[in-house]
Chain A
Amino acid sequence: MAKRVTGPEIEKLIQLLAKVPGLGPRSARRAALHLVKKKDQLLGPLADAMGEAHRKVRICSCCGNVDTSDPCTVCTDVRRDHAMIIVVEDVSDLWALERAGAMNAAYHVLGGTLSPLDGVGPDDLNIRGLVDRVAKGGVRELIIAVNATVEGQTTAHYITDQLSGLDVKITRLAHGVPVGGELDYLDEGTLTAALRARTAI
């Protein structure tokens, strides 16, 4: 058996860091060593920040976003157009769309997609919440911004079905030519989708 180099406290720190996305065992060791070396400048403040976040983080009861307040910062932002809701699979998608900054809308985070093979059904997703939100009125448009995968499209169909009868315009993201893309390099499926969803100039 290999001899141990560090005490169990540091070993545990490494093990936990290795579970963070983007870090493997090797980079976790590097990160842990760096933190331990900068005990006062980094490790302490990081531990405090994590503790604070752990105490305060919650899931927004309105949209499913992750934040330290409920309702979340997005839902309480009065400068946003709350009559327009962008439906996304995950908080990471919400952040990605916010980085683009193209829409001043509210969001709804589903928390995944329908996938019978993974045992994820409608009750495991925040779909009921979405229907209630729309049924309350005041929502003009719903933009379904799920991934162009089988699961994503199935979820989009399902949501559209659940909202039938409610007075709301439902749209989805366009599929097609990426910005800066050359037609010659696109696959036929993408080209067909782009042609179907063409817009007037």
Chain B
Amino acid sequence: MPHKVSLSRLKLTDFRNYAGLSLSLDGRHVVLTGQNGAGKTNLMEAVSFLSPGRGLRRAAYADVPRAGSDGGFSVFVTLDGMMGEVDIGTGTDGGDEGTARKLRLNGTAVKTVDELLDHLRVVWLTPSMDGLFTGPSADRRRFLDRLVLSLDPEHGRRAADFEKAMRGRNRLLSDHRPDPAWLTALEKQMAELGIAMAHARHELVSLLSGLVEAARDDGPFPSATLRLSGFLDDEWQRPAYEIEEIYLDMLQSGRYRDAAAGRTLDGPHRADLLIRHREKDMEAERCSTGEQKALLIGLILAHAGLVAGMTGHAPVLLLDEIAAHLDEGRRAALFDRVDALGGQSFMTGTDRSMFDALGDRAQFLTVSNGGILA
């Protein structure tokens, strides 16, 4: 059983509709119920700021402070984390737009929010992800990269560097007569970074597929088959340096075409994650809304299980409006699977009775108007 990472204290200051909130948690799952607009998702978002990035809403930090407050926001938690108990504080102090989020661990300022990954992993599922299978491929790549990042913290830097080299190449190709040696130098960088990036994605997909397969007969959720497509699909059995060579060739021979297109047409930035409903053998985007939701839940749970297995610590799971589309049987099965992951999870819903099957495995809190009712 993986170690349970759990929050014992959560304090918010000027965060969305919370002026100030101080919450003691007892380590069980947390069920937040309340009316629309009460602040349930805001509380989940606060917890999502315990991972690098802009949280589950992908918010601009300037939008996060409570309206009418004059500065920034802060989220403070006490956590039984992957390296023992730790106090984590994060937020902005208002001021300049676009400034990075600050992070303090045990009262000491640390340089990058990436250090959060040493203490906990946060995995979430929100209603805004419901369109994942039908939406643009960029959404699926971002989804996939988030999953990779929670296992391989280097992935973010690699992806950013690849992007930078590619933008440089695109700019250079738009010149009247670009320097071929300069292009080659950029393309070598792209090949190295792009293949490393794609490799990390392939590895995640194969690990995840294994777990989805293992959970196949476990409850009423359909299982998904995953496949990456759109970038060097047939070459991944070769050693990395050979694939780098192939990609470098593609880039060099594609210069003329890419210059005409105004962008780079081959690369990991064009790959897509293809998801199929295994039992029905049908593309996920053609499944019913309820089935898509069930597929997505299965994927998220498999990923949470993967993180727990790889790190030995169960991630904190945020499941926003999770019970809405599920019937009673599936809800009970979901709660059992969430509980079996061994971590602390936060769930929201409008109606408390939907969570009855959790029994005393969860702490029930009623959210109202930026506060918690006792």
Complex Cα–Cα for A122 and B157 (A): 26
Indicate if B153 sits at the interface (CB-CB under 8 A): yes
Complex Cα–Cα for A117 and B166 (A): 10
Say whether, besides A116-B171, A117-B167, A158 and B154 are in contact (CB < 8 Å): no
Indicate if B164 sits at the interface (CB-CB under 8 A): yes
Task: Say yes or no: A116 contacts B172, CB within 8 Å.
Answer: yes
Task: Say yes or no: A189 contacts B185, CB within 8 Å.
Answer: no
Interface residues of A in 128-155 (CB under 8 A from B): 149-150, 153-155
**Which residues on B sit within 8 Å (CB–CB) of A121?**
179, 182
A-B CB contact pairs (8 Å), 21 listed: A114-B185, A116-B168, A116-B169, A116-B171, A116-B186, A121-B179, A122-B179, A122-B181, A122-B182, A150-B164, A150-B165, A154-B182, A154-B186, A154-B189, A155-B185, A156-B185, A157-B188, A161-B184, A161-B185, A189-B154, A189-B158
Task: Say yes or no: A154 contacts B185, CB within 8 Å.
Answer: yes
The residue in chain B whose Cβ has the minimal distance to the Cβ of A155 is B185
Interface string of B180-215 (1 = CB under 8 A from A): 011011101100010000000000000000000000
**Which residues on B sit within 8 Å (CB–CB) of A117?**
164, 167-168, 171
Choose from A156, A157, A162, A188 the contact partner of B152 (Cβ within 8 Å).
Answer: A188
The residue in chain B whose Cβ has the minimal distance to the Cβ of A190 is B154
Indicate if B283 sits at the interface (CB-CB under 8 A): no
Top 6 A-B pairs ranked by shortest CB distance?
Answer: A157-B185, A158-B185, A116-B168, A116-B171, A116-B172, A154-B185
Indicate if A40 sits at the interface (CB-CB under 8 A): no
Task: Say yes or no: B181 contacts A158, CB within 8 Å.
Answer: yes
Task: Say yes or no: A162 contacts B153, CB within 8 Å.
Answer: no
The residue in chain A whose Cβ has the minimal distance to the Cβ of B165 is A150
Indicate if B321 sits at the interface (CB-CB under 8 A): no
**Which residues on B sit within 8 Å (CB–CB) of A162?**
181
Indicate if A182 sits at the interface (CB-CB under 8 A): no
Interface residues of A in 156-191 (CB under 8 A from B): 156-158, 161-162, 187-189
Complex Cα–Cα for A113 and B279 (A): 54
The secondary structure that dominates the B interface is helix
Complex Cα–Cα for A110 and B181 (A): 17
CB of A180, distance to nearest CB on chain B (Å): 18
Interface, chain B (partner A; CB < 8 A): 152-154, 157-158, 161, 164-165, 167-169, 171-172, 179, 181-182, 184-186, 188-189, 193
Indicate if A115 sits at the interface (CB-CB under 8 A): yes
Choose from B171, B172, B181, B189 the contact partner of A153 (Cβ within 8 Å).
Answer: B189
**Which residues on A sit within 8 Å (CB–CB) of B158?**
189
Say whether, besides A116-B171, A117-B168, A150 and B179 are in contact (CB < 8 Å): no
Complex Cα–Cα for A162 and B185 (A): 11
Count of CB-CB pairs between chains A and B under 8 Å: 56
Residues of A in contact (CB 8 Å), total 19
**Which residues on A sit within 8 Å (CB–CB) of B169?**
116
CB of A127, distance to nearest CB on chain B (Å): 10
Complex Cα–Cα for A154 and B158 (A): 15
The residue in chain A whose Cβ has the minimal distance to the Cβ of B192 is A153
CB of A18, distance to nearest CB on chain B (Å): 18
Complex Cα–Cα for A161 and B193 (A): 19
Choose from B154, B161, B182, B188 the contact partner of A114 (Cβ within 8 Å).
Answer: B182
Apart from A116-B169, A154-B165, A157-B184, list 15 A-B contacts with CB within 8 A.
Answer: A114-B182, A116-B168, A116-B182, A116-B186, A117-B164, A117-B168, A117-B171, A153-B189, A154-B185, A154-B189, A155-B185, A157-B189, A158-B184, A158-B185, A188-B154
**Which residues on B sit within 8 Å (CB–CB) of A156?**
185
**Which residues on B sit within 8 Å (CB–CB) of A187?**
153-154
**Which residues on A sit within 8 Å (CB–CB) of B186?**
116, 154
Interface centre among A115, A150, A155, A188 (most CB of B within 10 A): A150
**Which residues on A sit within 8 Å (CB–CB) of B157?**
189
Complex Cα–Cα for A161 and B188 (A): 11
Complex Cα–Cα for A154 and B162 (A): 12
CB of B161, distance to nearest CB on chain A (Å): 5
The residue in chain A whose Cβ has the minimal distance to the Cβ of B170 is A116
CB of B169, distance to nearest CB on chain A (Å): 7
CB of B290, distance to nearest CB on chain A (Å): 40
